[in-house]
């Protein structure tokens, strides 16, 4: 038991000199609650005592939120009250004005009378025989110690609330209750207790007394109807949740049901007996320091049907202390104890210290006070609860067998039977399903089918299944002019190169008689051609620059020539200018169909640059090249070409070596077996001026991420995410499968299918991306059904059953990677939803449930029932 609870218990036993029994205790209640009962009952049946009103005096201390902080960090909260004429609070129709800052002091008898009236008004019964406050009502009451100083001369009194007299949590409540804003606070005394102090001389304190603390009166108030978890009582009637009334604290253990007209039958039964209903389960969790991720996951789990019923009953008998995979039942006990505290009537925000210490002990990754992932905690907790509560004491060995062409139904049942023989707990009963996994070898076509259990589904978002890539397509039209056009396409992130060429061909309207040759360009040189259709797209990085050259298919046997463009640039070394050849522009790739000599090669090259020519006549004059053969050494050792022309050289693939100069009127010495020729083209400065080389020098990256540009928010339906999850895809290079047919590891294709769905379906949206170089969060808006998630069409085998689900909880993450904040949305009967933001719990409209912050979705299965 935590210290706050111990303090609360001690204070409740402290005797009061004037209140020796429950009937004489003084209750502090909302005036509206009291007046509703007092005004509605006849005088013969109800105490019609007129209250004496006392109003708070202006204080010189901090106001508003600063006052709360000041009071919490100081030892005492001090308020001054003065008696007022109650006529000024009576309206023209004779009714007492009631605001959210009006409270009443009533005796124990009065409190019971009002409590019974509220109970009768809800249950429509007038039988008052044997009525008494239930445990639920008493759970909504907490004690508060006050010290009063009476000053008869000014008809005023001072109230001091001290940390020494009250538990820390109760003191904080008092600070919020009395100091939440600067409005005047009024107390209506119907009990006569304050009047008694004014009339009794021994309690009066002289105005000039310097020993006020020695003459203070210790008064214990029983506060009712003002706990944090009961804030819903201050709402308007049309904002109140619609709970069914029962004498038990229980969430309907059976699966939810749906009427044939689509409406839901009552599935949530939450009540606190004759008292006010609706506060059960609306208890927050204190943030212990970056524990919002834990609070969010816990609120979702502690509002899960079946689990609530299970842990509110005697679950201790199922704890497996001998399971080596478990945690000696400590996680289950800590979780069960926390759940019971959260579902206790009138509970205040709970500090989950015990649970967190157990969590840190068995899962050190969650120790300390760093922010973590709520889904990762959820995965650990579900598995830990299962092992702690596993009914199987001795797990039998079961060998996994392949399908061997047997019917899927037979194989699936065999796998499930073997699984249950080793795993049997409330978690398996409620949360576990089964999917079919199919692997196909790309070489021998061996097919392997297994059926594996799952606790939750991790669905990829569209941004994680598809990849955007930009490539430059280079093509020549009928008159020889070339075009450079960038195209942006979407391809499967885990796809193959054939997916890229297919998508790019569609984007650029590639003809049936055309083909594409894709190359990667680096430093204005082609470093590789991408030709293997089975290569993984993961080999292409976002910073790469890709060019796709467009050719006619009928020229496919002709040798390929790659022209590398170079120009002279001055480079300063130790302050001296030194000439240096440097590549520029996009490499030109062409087919040597009818090329015979150097002049044909030159014309083929210039034809490609015709689109970038500034002056055609001048360019033709400058194309005169000296016809003289000469062997040339490395690039740094060659002479500059004539100012009027270009020089062509045979070179290597990087363009770093000039082997032999190509003469215009001499035939090309090309080996017939040669399929690829590299030619270095050295431009003179005058020739460069005749062309707009900038147009062919800029290549876009495959993907350019911008941290400053705000990308439009993506959206997708939950069904689309599920379809992406179930789509066949190749395994990654780091996740190869050992094929029993080939006896080697292969990059097989994998296909998942849903086979058996659980009663509680947890869906994890994979918003967080991790790579070697960066972390990223996807803000994709997922449109998920709230009332009717129908998965009937996604079951791999036809069993004519309905698989419909309704949402009951959401774990949200706001902000960016490595930080942000977690909250939880929880359904609490009817159309009422609540936002659990650590210790704060407040209603939220159903329309706000869907957002791009949704991270983990919790669904429960519903069954259609006939209304006949």
Task: Give the number of other CB atoms < 10 A from CB of residue 856.
Answer: 26
Q: How many CA atoms lie within 13 A of 791 on its CB side?
A: 29
DSSP bridge partners of 515: 551
Could you report the per-residue pLDDT of 725-767, keeping only the tens digit for each?
A: 998 888 877 788 898 888 888 888 899 999 999 999 999 999 8
pLDDT band at 783 (very low <50, low <70, confident <90, very high): very high
Q: Which of 644-648, 773-777, 789-793 has the lowest mean pLDDT?
A: 773-777
Cβ neighbours of residue 557 closer than 8 Å, sequence gap 6 or more: none
603-617 tens-digit pLDDT:
888 888 877 777 555
Q: Which residues are catalytic?
A: 292, 821
* pLDDT at position 164: 80
Residues in Cβ contact with 575 at an 8 Å cutoff, skipping those fewer than 6 apart: none
Give the pLDDT of residue 311: 92
The gap from C-alpha 66 to its chain's centroid, in whole angstroms, comes to: 33
Cβ-in-10-Å burial (0-12, 13-18, 19+) of 410 comes to exposed
Bridging pattern class, strands 760-766 and 457-460: parallel
Q: Say what the pLDDT of residue 857 is.
A: 97
Whether pLDDT at 858 is above 90: yes
Angle separating helix axes 330-342 and 374-388, nearest 10 degrees: 110
Q: Is 178 helix (H, G, I), strand (E, B) or coil?
A: helix
CB 808, CB 301: distance < 8 Å: no
Among left, alpha and beta (phi > 0; psi -120 to 50; other), residue 480 is left
CB atoms within 10 A of CB 768: 17
- Strand, coil or helix: what is 97? coil
Most distant CA pair in the chain: distance in Å?
130
Q: How far is the C-alpha of 250 from the C-alpha of 808, rounded, in Å?
A: 16
Assess whether pLDDT exceeds 70 at residue 441.
yes
Does residue 451 surpass a pLDDT of 80?
yes
* Strand partners for 601: none
Phi, then psi, of 408 in degrees rounded to 5: -60, -40
pLDDT at 232: 36
Higher pLDDT, 244 or 627: 627
Rounded distance between C-alpha atoms, residue 798 and residue 794, angstroms: 10
Read off the pLDDT of residues 510-547 as tens digits, 9 standing for 90 and up.
Answer: 989 899 999 999 988 999 999 888 888 888 988 899 99
The listed range with the strongest mean pLDDT (118-127, 255-264, 328-337, 619-628) is: 328-337
Token pair for 5: 């609870």
* Cβ pair 26, 96 in contact under 8 A: no
> Residue 431: is its pLDDT beyond 60?
yes
CA distance 200 to 758: 69
Name the residue among 565, 619, 610, 568 with its Cα closest to residue 589.
Answer: 565
Which phi and psi angles does 185 have, rounded to 5°?
-110, 130
DSSP state of 172: H
The pLDDT value recorded for residue 128 is 44
User: What's the angle, vertex CA 474, arms to CA 470 and CA 476, rounded to 5?
Assistant: 155
Tell me whether residue 93 is exposed, middle or buried, using C-beta atoms within 10 angstroms of its C-beta: 0 to 12, 13 to 18, 19 or more. exposed
CB 106 within 8 A of CB 19: no
Identify which of 15-29, 380-394, 574-588 has the greatest average pLDDT.
380-394
SS3 of residue 390 by DSSP: coil
DSSP lists the bridge partners of residue 716 as 782
Sign of the alpha-carbon torsion through 444, 449, 453, 455:
positive
Residue 285 has pLDDT above 80, yes or no: yes
State phi, psi for 294 to the nearest 5 degrees.
-70, -40
The pLDDT of residue 227 is: 55
* pLDDT score, position 292: 92
pLDDT grade for 782, boundaries at 50, 70 and 90 = very high
- What does the pLDDT average to over 23-34? 80
Neighbours of 181 (CB within 10 A): 12
> In whole angstroms, what is the distance from residue 63 CA to residue 56 CA?
13
Residue 541 or 70, more confident: 541
Burial class, 588, CB count within 10 angstroms (exposed 0-12 / middle 13-18 / buried 19+): buried
Q: Give residue 865's pLDDT band: very low, low, confident or very high (50, 70, 90).
A: low
Residue 385: name the closest of 422, 331, 424 by CA: 331
The answer to whether residues 790 and 483 touch, using CB atoms and an 8 Å cutoff, is no
Query: What token pair was written down for 197?
Result: 């102090």
The residues near 34 (Cβ < 8 Å, ≥ 6 apart) are 104, 106, 110, 114, 188, 190
Cβ partners under 8 Å of residue 307, min gap 6 = 301, 339, 426, 430
Query: Residue 22's closest CA among 109, 132, 138?
Result: 109
Confidence of residue 475 (pLDDT cuts 50, 70, 90): confident
Q: Which DSSP category does 356 fall into?
A: H
Paired tokens of 138:
């008493």
CB atoms within 10 A of CB 550: 20
């Amino acid at each position: 038991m935590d210290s706050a609870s111990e303090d609360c218990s001690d204070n409740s036993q402290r005797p009061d000199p004037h209140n020796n029994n429950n009937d004489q205790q003084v209750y502090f209640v909302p005036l509206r609650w009291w007046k509703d009962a007092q005004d509605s009952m006849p005088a013969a049946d109800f105490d019609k005592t007129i209250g004496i009103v006392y109003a708070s005096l202006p204080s010189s201390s901090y106001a508003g939120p600063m006052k709360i902080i000041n009071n919490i960090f100081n030892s005492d909260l001090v308020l001054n009250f003065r008696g007022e004429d109650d006529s000024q609070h009576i309206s023209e129709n004779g009714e007492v004005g009631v605001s959210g800052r009006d409270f009443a002091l009533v005796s124990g008898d009065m409190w019971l009378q009002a409590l019974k009236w509220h109970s009768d008004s809800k249950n429509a019964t007038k039988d008052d025989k044997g009525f008494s406050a239930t445990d639920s009502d008493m759970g909504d009451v907490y004690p508060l110690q006050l010290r009063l100083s009476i000053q008869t001369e000014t008809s005023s009194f001072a109230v001091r609330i001290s940390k020494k007299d009250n538990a820390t949590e109760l003191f904080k409540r008092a600070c919020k209750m009395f100091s939440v804003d600067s409005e005047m606070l009024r107390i209506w005394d119907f009990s006569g207790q304050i009047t008694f102090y004014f009339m009794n001389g021994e309690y009066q304190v002289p105005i000039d007394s310097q020993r006020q603390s020695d003459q203070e009166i210790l008064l214990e108030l029983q506060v009712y109807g003002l706990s944090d978890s009961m804030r819903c009582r201050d709402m308007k009637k049309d904002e109140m949740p619609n709970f069914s009334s029962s004498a038990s604290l229980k969430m309907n253990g059976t699966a939810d049901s749906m009427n044939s007209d689509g409406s839901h039958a009552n599935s949530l039964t939450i009540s606190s007996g004759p008292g006010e209903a609706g506060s059960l389960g609306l208890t927050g969790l204190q943030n212990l320091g970056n524990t919002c991720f834990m609070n969010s996951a816990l609120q979702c789990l502690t509002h899960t049907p079946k689990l609530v019923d299970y842990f509110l009953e005697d679950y201790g008998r199922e704890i497996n202390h001998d399971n080596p995979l478990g945690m000696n039942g400590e996680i289950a006990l800590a979780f069960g104890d926390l759940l019971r505290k959260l579902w206790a009537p009138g509970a205040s925000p709970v500090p989950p210290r015990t649970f967190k210490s157990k969590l840190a002990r068995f899962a050190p990754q969650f120790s300390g006070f760093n922010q973590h992932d709520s889904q990762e905690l959820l995965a650990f907790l579900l598995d830990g609860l299962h092992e702690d509560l596993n009914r199987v004491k001795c797990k039998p060995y079961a060998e996994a067998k392949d399908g061997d062409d047997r019917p899927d139904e037979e194989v699936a049942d065999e796998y499930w039977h073997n699984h249950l023989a080793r795993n049997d707990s409330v978690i398996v009963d409620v949360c576990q399903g089964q999917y079919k996994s199919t692997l196909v070898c790309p070489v021998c076509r061996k097919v392997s089918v297994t059926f594996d259990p799952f606790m939750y589904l991790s669905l990829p978002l569209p941004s994680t299944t598809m990849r955007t890539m930009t490539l430059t397509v280079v093509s020549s039209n009928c008159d020889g002019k070339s075009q450079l056009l960038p195209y942006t396409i979407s391809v499967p992130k885990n796809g193959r190169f054939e997916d890229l060429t297919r998508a790019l061909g569609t984007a650029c309207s590639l003809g049936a008689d055309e083909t594409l040759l894709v190359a990667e360009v680096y430093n204005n040189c082609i470093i590789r051609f991408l030709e293997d259709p089975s290569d993984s797209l993961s080999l292409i990085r976002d910073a790469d620059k890709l060019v796709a050259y467009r050719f006619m298919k009928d020229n496919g046997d002709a040798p390929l020539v790659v022209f590398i463009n170079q120009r002279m640039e001055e480079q300063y070394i130790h302050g001296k200018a030194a000439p240096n050849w440097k590549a520029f522009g996009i490499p030109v790739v062409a087919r040597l169909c009818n090329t015979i000599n150097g002049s044909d090669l030159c014309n083929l090259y210039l034809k490609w640059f015709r689109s970038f020519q500034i002056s055609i006549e001048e360019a033709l004059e400058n194309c005169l090249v000296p016809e003289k053969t000469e062997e040339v050494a490395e690039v740094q050792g060659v002479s500059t070409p004539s100012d009027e022309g270009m020089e062509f050289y045979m070179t290597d693939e990087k363009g770093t070596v000039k082997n032999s100069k190509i003469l215009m009127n001499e035939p090309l010495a090309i080996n017939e077996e040669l399929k690829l020729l590299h030619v270095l083209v050295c431009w003179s400065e005058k020739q460069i001026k005749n062309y707009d080389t900038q147009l062919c020098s800029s290549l876009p990256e495959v993907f350019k991420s911008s941290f400053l540009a705000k990308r439009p928010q993506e959206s997708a339906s939950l069904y689309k995410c599920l379809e992406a999850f179930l789509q066949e895809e190749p395994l990654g290079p780091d996740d190869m499968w050992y094929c029993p047919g080939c006896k080697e590891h292969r990059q097989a294709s994998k296909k998942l299918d849903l086979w058996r769905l659980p009663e509680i379906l947890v869906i994890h949206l994979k918003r967080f991306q991790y790579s070697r170089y960066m972390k990223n969060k996807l803000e994709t808006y997922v449109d998920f059904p709230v009332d009717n998630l129908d998965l009937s069409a996604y079951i791999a085998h036809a069993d004519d059953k309905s698989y419909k689900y309704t949402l009951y909880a959401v774990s949200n993450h706001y902000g960016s990677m490595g930080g942000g904040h977690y909250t939880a949305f929880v359904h609490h009967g009817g159309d009422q939803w609540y936002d659990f933001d650590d210790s704060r719990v407040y209603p939220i409209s159903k329309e706000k449930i869907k957002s791009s912050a949704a991270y983990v979705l919790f669904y429960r299965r519903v069954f259609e029932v006939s209304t006949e």
